[in-house]
Amino acid sequence: MAAGSARIVRYILFAFFGVMVLYFMSSSSIPRPPLSTTDLPSWKSEQEKTPPGAPAGDVQAPPPLTVEKVAEAPSTASAPAASAPALTSPKQSNDAPSSPTHPVVETSGERMNATFVTLARNSDLWEIVKSIRQVEDRFNRKFHYDWVFLNDKPFDESFKNVTTSLISGKTHYGEIAQEHWSFPDFIDTDRARKTREDMAQRKIIYGDSISYRHMCRFESGFFFLHPLMQKFEWYWRVEPSIELYCDIDYDTFKYMRDHGKKYSFVLSLYEYVETIPKLWDSVKTFIKDHPEHIAEDNSMQFLSDDNGETYNHCHFWSNFEIGNLNWLRSQAYTDYFNQLDKDGGFFYERWGDAPVHSIAAGLLLKKDEIHFFNDIAYYHVPFTHCPTGDQYRLDHKCHCNPKDNFDWKGYSCTSRFFDINKIEKPEGYKDQQD
């Protein structure tokens, strides 16, 4: 009886398993609907995701690259404003526009009549492309502004092709006029030679260089008059081998216009005294002869500790500048530069364009027309500007070391700029002092 019961149980189990096999065989032949793409895992990186509050797909693709060859004939026609991405910026302040989240980049809006400008030689190609990548990746891929390259010799095709391939706006290549890159007729070349020999013996940096002097004079008085620059109203100066450490998600040119700014900087320091012993004498002559050009509420306190009797050597480091070209073309600046040029200090000493621009901005502009771009994190050997504030650096994907920030060091003049403008220094600045 027990053996018969065991056989019955085995038959029942075999039958059950047989039914199950038939079921699975039949169900596997039934077509199944494809998996929805919404069910797939997302492979988009954090960097590609739309920032909070920004509409999807809000970054406009760059237009086709174009090399524009412009004849070296003066032109004063203004370029019509073209359509380009604009920005809804966060709440602004006197020292730096900032926000706890990224500003929202829109796909339409006003574009400024502006350009980048670089003085370079063909041999600088592989150093300037580093700067171009930094500027494009951190800023210009969103705005597609033009870029003007100037050289005292013609640019070769390799320089043009490589730089054009990297820039999202139009590129322009120009040669500097001979009279803007040579000794003017009123310079005593023997006296200038003796100055260079003396500076070489004293090991003053660039003291024996002729080309450096031509460069400083050109940047001080002529770059904004070049035919390629005539159609623009705003410029951003870029030099080889710079770095930008943070994303810039708003239009800096538009910020300058909207806030009444005409000159800006990111680094400031004291000039090498041996290069400009008589510069302030020329400035004082200009002040005496042209009191009508000296602005009310100017920045004399930034330049002098004794109300203009002497120069304290503070200046804005001009390898980075965003500024207004119409101001540089004004009668006030023209009279200022002509006074300095006539006195010959570019050749009889070694006047740099940084103190020349800085003194002009300090005297000819009101204090509130000069802007410190705290949020443009920048490096030019050997100094770094890294924004003070941990959260700001995180929000703007900065990769600079705050310990390298030069702003609050003893040799920087930025603290003086904050003081004369009554701007509150950012939290944490004391931690970055010497």
Q: Which residues are catalytic?
A: 321
Give the span between the Cα atoms of 71 and 78, in whole angstroms: 16
HEC readout, 23-56: HHHHHCCCCCCCCCHHHCCCCCCCCCCCCCCCCC
Residue 180: C-alpha distances to residues 118, 165, 286, 308 (Å): 16, 30, 22, 31
Are residues 312 and 304 in contact, defined by beta-carbon separation less than 8 angstroms? yes
CA distance 413 to 362: 13
Contact 159, 183 (CB under 8 A): no
Sequence-distant (≥ 6) Cβ neighbours of residue 373 within 8 angstroms: 96, 252, 264, 265, 266, 322
Structure tokens at 41: 């895992």
Backbone φ, ψ for residue 153 (5° rounding): -130, 160
Spatial CA neighbour of 354 closest among 231, 215, 253 = 215
**Joined tokens for residue 264:** 């800006």
Cβ neighbours, 10 Å, residue 128 = 23
Instruction: Please tell me the distance from the alpha carbon of residue 163 to that of residue 116, in angstroms, as a whole number.
Output: 13
Q: What is the DSSP string of 113-151?
A: SEEEEEE--GGGHHHHHHHHHHHIIIIITTT--EEEEEE
